[in-house]
């Protein structure tokens, strides 16, 4: 069965620091990949997604992620974080042709300090 | 427009009681999903409804869990004879029709269930 791993459970950064959150998945076939974010007190919302094409995808609020097929990775990056980026970040995948159910990682809690 | 709504926002129940959780998807969204998030774990898929097709129930953890959906609107998730391990946040999501568009799921605020 497919799975998603997020190895960083808690990350603390200062404002303006660069961010990279790791995401690896295990599945031999084709997948669609997502990063979701949950800001404090808010709903889970989509940050960015990769279906096909350019492996470097850009999302909202200056976030980007790169799909590296050979490494089964889809790491999330932001060059300069802000205090308002404090949130929980979830990597997820959908199997193409396998229905639309998302398989999520356990999430990374990011805290950005002023 | 209105997003996905869920009720109640919080539910505390005693072990052995039945509970019903409700989800109102975004109007026009044909697909509806239930997930749960237990403390310290990622979201787990429970069940998926797509239009008039038979639901994908492959994520339901036991026969105490069931869900229904009326047409393309409201869904209820029922947990019978609740156990303490059922304590979690239950999230509902919906997505619009279309192959690629249908892959973006819009989540509700969740129902926090606590089983004493």
The CATH number of whichever domain residue A16 belongs to comes to: 2.60.40.10
A-chain residues within 8 Å CB-CB of B108? 43
Residue located via tokens 């096909």 = A52
Q: Tell me how close the Cα of B12 comes to any Cα of chain A, in angstroms.
A: 20
Q: Specify the number of domains making up chain B.
A: 1
- Name the residue in chain B with its Cα closest to that of A44: B107
The model's pLDDT over B2-19, given as tens digits with 9 standing for 90+, comes to 899 999 999 999 999 999
Banded pLDDT at B106 (limits 50, 70, 90)? very high
Distance between CA B29 and CA A4 in Å, rounded? 27
Pairing of strands B111-115, B10-13: parallel
Does B108 sit within 8 Å of A103, measured CB to CB? no
Query: From CA A103, how far away is CA B33, in angstroms rounded?
Result: 12
Question: Among B103, B106, B109, which would you mutate to test the A interface (most chain A Cβ atoms within 10 Å of its Cβ)?
Answer: B103
CATH of the domain at B44: 2.60.40.10
Verify whether the Cβ–Cβ distance B107 to A43 is below 8 Å: yes
pLDDT tens for each residue of B57-81: 999 999 999 999 988 889 999 999 9
**Inter-chain touch A101–B45, beta carbons under 8 Å:** yes
Is it the case that residue B103 has pLDDT exceeding 90? no
How many independent structural domains does chain A possess? 1
pLDDT at A40: 92
- Best of A44, A45, A53, A107 to substitute, by most chain B Cβ atoms within 10 angstroms, is A44
The predicted pLDDT at position A101 comes to 86
pLDDT at B100: 63
From first to last of its 114 residues, chain A has per-residue pLDDT tens of 889 999 889 999 999 999 999 999 998 888 899 999 999 989 899 999 998 899 999 999 999 999 999 999 999 999 999 999 999 999 999 987 666 789 999 999 999 999
> Which range marks the domain in which residue A41 is found?
3-113
């Amino acid at each position: 069965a497919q799975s998603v791993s997020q190895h960083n459970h808690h990350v603390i950064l200062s404002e303006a620091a660069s961010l990279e959150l790791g995401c690896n998945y295990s599945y031999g076939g084709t997948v669609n990949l997502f990063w979701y974010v949950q800001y404090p007190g808010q709903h889970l919302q989509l940050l960015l997604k990769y279906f096909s094409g350019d492996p470097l995808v850009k999302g909202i609020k200056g976030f980007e992620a790169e799909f590296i097929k050979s490494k089964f990775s889809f790491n999330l990056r932001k060059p300069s974080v802000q205090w308002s980026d404090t949130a929980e970040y979830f990597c997820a995948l959908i199997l193409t042709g396998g229905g639309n159910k998302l398989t999520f990682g356990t999430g990374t809690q990011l805290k950005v300090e002023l | 427009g209105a997003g996905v709504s869920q009720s109640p926002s919080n539910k505390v129940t005693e072990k052995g009681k039945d509970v019903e959780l409700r989800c109102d998807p975004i109007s026009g969204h044909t697909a509806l999903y239930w997930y749960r998030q237990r403390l310290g774990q990622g979201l787990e898929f429970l069940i998926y409804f797509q239009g008039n097709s038979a639901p994908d129930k492959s994520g339901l953890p036991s026969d105490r869990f069931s869900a229904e959906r009326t047409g393309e609107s409201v869904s209820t998730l029922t947990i019978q004879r609740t156990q303490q391990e059922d304590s979690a946040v239950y999230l509902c999501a919906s997505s619009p029709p279309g192959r690629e568009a249908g892959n973006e799921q819009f989540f509700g605020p969740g129902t926090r269930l606590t089983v004493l």
